[in-house]
């Protein structure tokens, strides 16, 4: 059996707006802006992609699954994300962690990872 990861589906109050937010964040592009479901792909068009679907309920608790993004300019990335509506949040992470937990404007958490020496070496 050969299984590959194709996409991560994310619930959203406004799938088009949230898809554009993530496309800008990742340097990816929106494939088709449709309120019924909007897909974001990397520049090569390959998998995996992010797929945003509409939901009517509001997020209540911490996500059980979230994205971790690696930022070469960690401090600059956090500052830039906050300027675009993301917020830092405390979900109990260690104070000296090599990452910061943030929420997108709709409230879903994600982490911005600070590059380690090994990650910087391998790019």
Q: What is the pLDDT of residues 52-68, one digit of tens each?
A: 999 988 878 877 889 99
CA pair distance 110, 123, nearest whole angstrom: 21
Q: For the chain, what are the domain ranges?
A: 1-55, 66-123
CA pair distance 2, 94, nearest whole angstrom: 38
CA pair distance 32, 10, nearest whole angstrom: 15
Q: According to the CATH classification, is domain 66-123 in 3.10.180.10? A: yes
In this prediction, residue 117 carries a pLDDT of 55
Query: What's the CA angle centered on 15, arms 14 and 21, to 5 degrees?
Result: 95
Read off the pLDDT of each residue in 33-38 and give the average, rounded to a whole number.
93
Cβ–Cβ < 8 Å for 82, 74: no
pLDDT beyond 70 at 1? yes
CA pair distance 56, 43, nearest whole angstrom: 31
pLDDT beyond 90 at 38? yes
Domain 1-55 - what CATH class?
A: alpha beta
């Amino acid at each position: 059996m050969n299984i590959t990861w194709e996409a991560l589906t994310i619930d959203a109050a406004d799938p088009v707006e949230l898809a554009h937010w993530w496309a800008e964040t990742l340097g990816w592009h929106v494939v088709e802006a449709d309120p019924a479901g909007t897909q974001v792909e990397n520049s090569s068009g390959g998998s995996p992609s992010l797929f945003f679907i509409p939901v009517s309920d509001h997020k209540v608790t911490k996500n059980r699954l979230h994205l971790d993004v690696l930022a070469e300019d960690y401090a600059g990335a956090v500052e830039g994300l906050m300027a675009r509506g993301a917020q830092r949040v405390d979900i109990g992470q260690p104070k000296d962690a090599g990452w910061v937990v943030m929420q997108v404007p709709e409230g879903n958490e994600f982490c911005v990872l600070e590059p380690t020496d090994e990650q910087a070496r391998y790019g």
